[in-house]
């Protein structure tokens, strides 16, 4: 008998896995905060014998090196990956016995495409494939994007993705479970998963990498690639160098005077509360990145790399969860933090700032008199946009604030979260802003003219 436990890293849209028998297990693509992997092993009563990486990750800082150090596990990394630490180099066809009593082993299968050295791991029970950890190779209905390593390699890697998908399909039984790391919201995926589980047989029937010829597949894949989060530039080097252990102890506490001083120094003060609470009252100059949204992805994407950040949270629990999210993308220690609410974060004699929220129906009544700012990605806007709207993706807005026309700005995205981020940036810059907290699907129903390019 064997088990496979999924460890969700939902904020980044990834999954990690722990698989094994009664005595020992293998951890696959672990997140930086390894305590949850250790806890999963403890619940199973197993020893982590191996930690394996499918590739040097571009979207998060791995916990693999630290997990191997803490547990004494062998650390398996593709041999062609250029890293600066001791590891067990893995070549195509290598096998590692995970649990002899259960007849469990993992077999390396070279699947280049997401990166040149990408390797999948087939979980075998008594020599029969039962699952395959595909990392950023074959995903649910998609594949990992091939453009994160080097622009000149993108087409070559896209073709390699096609070949690797076909290798997996040809060598593994149809009933083999496909267990990818990416595809659940991660920008490492070329598109997002349409379900939560799949098999080789299901992918043969539906995955375009397996149903289209290579030229058509590559052309469509390259045409559909979206923006790359800016912080990805820093993830590969951090992983290749060997990430340091994390420190999740509470940051130094900032009072109202220190918060004001940090803002005056040009540092980032980030309010983690939900967008409704932020709009109703916040520290002037602070930015709103909801803890419940894709906090790590969007904060790491927007903030100038290495700039000090102070976190404002409604509770110690919210602060701790945010710290955990942020270490996964290399934002290791907040400069300071405070919990509570804006009444305690502003200096005596000052009052919290605020701005209004609205819907597309409200916008329809004011459309002739205001600036409409669309902060979605270009791929989303291609599906339709409000006539006359200005387009600046949220991840570029902080560098392009001077491009927003004069007047009251009504800002929208697809659902409200990114509009709230953008509204906070505009509000901090002294602009009159209204955040649309509404689904873009409502725009046309509200009577607004929606165009397509």
What is the model's pLDDT at position 193? 64
Q: What is the distance between the alpha carbons of residues 306 and 214, in angstroms, rounded to a whole number?
A: 41
User: Which residues have C-beta within 8 Å of that of residue 39, sequence separation ≥ 6?
Assistant: none
Structure tokens at 181: 């790391």
Beta bridge pairs of residue 89: 77
The dihedral through the CA atoms of 314, 319, 321, 322 has a sign that is positive
Q: Identify the helix (H) or strand (E) that includes residue 50.
A: strand 47-52
Q: What is the distance between the alpha carbons of residues 75 and 26, in angstroms, rounded to a whole number?
A: 10
The dihedral through the CA atoms of 404, 405, 411, 412 has a sign that is negative
Structure tokens at 421: 């981020």
DSSP character string of 266-326: T-EEEE-S-HHHHHHSB-TT-EE--TTSSHHHHHHHHSPTT--EEEEESSHHHHHHHHHHH
Please give, one letter per residue, the 3-state secondary structure of 78-135: ECCCCCCCCCEEECCCCEEEEEHHHCEEEEEEECCCCCCCCEEEEEEECCEEEEEEEE
The number of residues in the chain equals 453
**Which of 258, 251, 261 shows the shortest CA–CA distance to 313?**
251
Q: What is the distance between the alpha carbons of residues 67 and 305, in angstroms, rounded to a whole number?
A: 26
Strand order from edge to edge, sheet including 177-180: 95-99, 104-110, 119-125, 128-135, 177-180
The dihedral through the CA atoms of 406, 409, 414, 418 has a sign that is positive
Distances from the Cα of 426 to the Cαs of 159, 372, 400, in angstroms? 42, 13, 11
Q: What is the distance between the alpha carbons of residues 36 and 3, in angstroms, rounded to a whole number?
A: 17
**Which of 88, 92, 56, 89 shows the shortest CA–CA distance to 73?**
88
Q: Identify the helix (H) or strand (E) that includes residue 205.
A: helix 200-206
Q: Are 355 and 433 contacting, i.e. CB atoms less than 8 angstroms apart?
A: yes
Q: Which residue has the tokens 């992997």?
A: 37
Q: What is the pTM of this model?
A: 0.94
DSSP single-letter state for residue 416: S
User: Which residues have C-beta within 8 Å of that of residue 402, sequence separation ≥ 6?
Assistant: none
Considering just the CA atoms, what is the radius of gyration of the chain in Å?
23
**Which of 42, 31, 41 shows the shortest CA–CA distance to 8?**
31
What is the model's pLDDT at position 182? 94
Q: Which residue has the tokens 């005056």?
A: 264
Q: What is the distance between the alpha carbons of residues 111 and 89, in angstroms, rounded to a whole number?
A: 15
* Parts of the chain with a pLDDT under 50: none
Q: For the chain, percent helix, then strand, then coil, each to nearest 5?
A: 35, 25, 45
**Which of 76, 33, 74 shows the shortest CA–CA distance to 53?**
76
Distances from the Cα of 41 to the Cαs of 18, 19, 208, in angstroms? 7, 9, 36
The dihedral through the CA atoms of 116, 59, 252, 249 has a sign that is negative
């Amino acid at each position: 008998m064997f088990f496979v436990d999924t460890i969700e890293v939902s904020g980044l849209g990834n999954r990690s896995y722990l698989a094994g028998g009664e005595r020992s297990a293998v951890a696959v693509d672990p997140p930086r905060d390894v305590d949850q992997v250790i806890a999963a092993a403890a619940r199973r009563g197993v020893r982590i014998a191996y930690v394996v990486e499918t590739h040097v990750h571009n979207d998060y800082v791995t916990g693999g090196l630290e997990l191997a150090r803490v547990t004494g596990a062998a650390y398996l990394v593709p041999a062609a990956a250029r890293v600066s630490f001791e590891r067990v180099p893995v070549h195509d066809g290598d096998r590692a016995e995970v649990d002899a009593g259960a007849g469990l082993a993992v077999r390396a299968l070279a699947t280049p495409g997401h990166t040149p050295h990408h390797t999948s791991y087939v979980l075998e029970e008594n020599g029969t494939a039962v699952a395959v950890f595909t990392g950023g190779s074959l995903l649910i209905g998609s594949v990992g994007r091939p453009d994160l390593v080097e622009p000149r390699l993108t087409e070559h890697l896209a073709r390699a993705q096609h070949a690797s998908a076909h290798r997996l399909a040809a060598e593994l039984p149809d009933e083999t479970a496909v267990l990818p790391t990416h595809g659940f919201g991660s920008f490492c995926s070329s598109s997002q998963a349409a379900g939560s589980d799949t098999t080789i047989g299901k992918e043969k029937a539906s995955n375009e990498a397996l149903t289209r010829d290579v030229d058509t597949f590559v052309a469509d894949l390259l045409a559909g690639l979206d923006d790359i989060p800016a912080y990805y530039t820093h993830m590969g080097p951090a992983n290749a160098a060997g990430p340091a252990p994390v420190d999740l102890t509470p940051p130094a506490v900032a009072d109202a005077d220190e918060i004001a001083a940090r803002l005056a120094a040009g540092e980032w003060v980030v309010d983690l509360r939900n967008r409704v609470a932020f709009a109703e009252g916040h520290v002037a100059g602070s930015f709103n990145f909801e803890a419940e949204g894709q906090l790590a992805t969007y904060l790491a994407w927007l903030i100038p790399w290495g700039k000090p950040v102070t976190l404002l949270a409604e509770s110690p629990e919210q602060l701790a969860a945010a710290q955990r999210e942020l270490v996964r993308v290399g934002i290791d220690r907040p400069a300071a933090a405070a919990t509570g609410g804006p009444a305690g974060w502003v200096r005596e004699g000052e009052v919290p700032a605020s701005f209004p929220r609205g819907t597309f129906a409200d916008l329809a009544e004011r459309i002739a008199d205001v600036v409409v700012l669309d902060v979605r990605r270009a791929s989303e806007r291609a599906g339709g946009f409000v006539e006359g709207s200005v387009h600046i993706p949220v991840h570029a807005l902080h560098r392009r604030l001077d491009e927003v026309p004069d007047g009251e700005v009504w800002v929208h995205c697809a659902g409200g979260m990114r509009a709230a981020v953008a509204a906070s940036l505009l509000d901090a810059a002294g602009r009159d802003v209204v955040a649309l907290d509404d689904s873009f699907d409502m725009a046309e129903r509200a009577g607004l003219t929606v165009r397509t390019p």
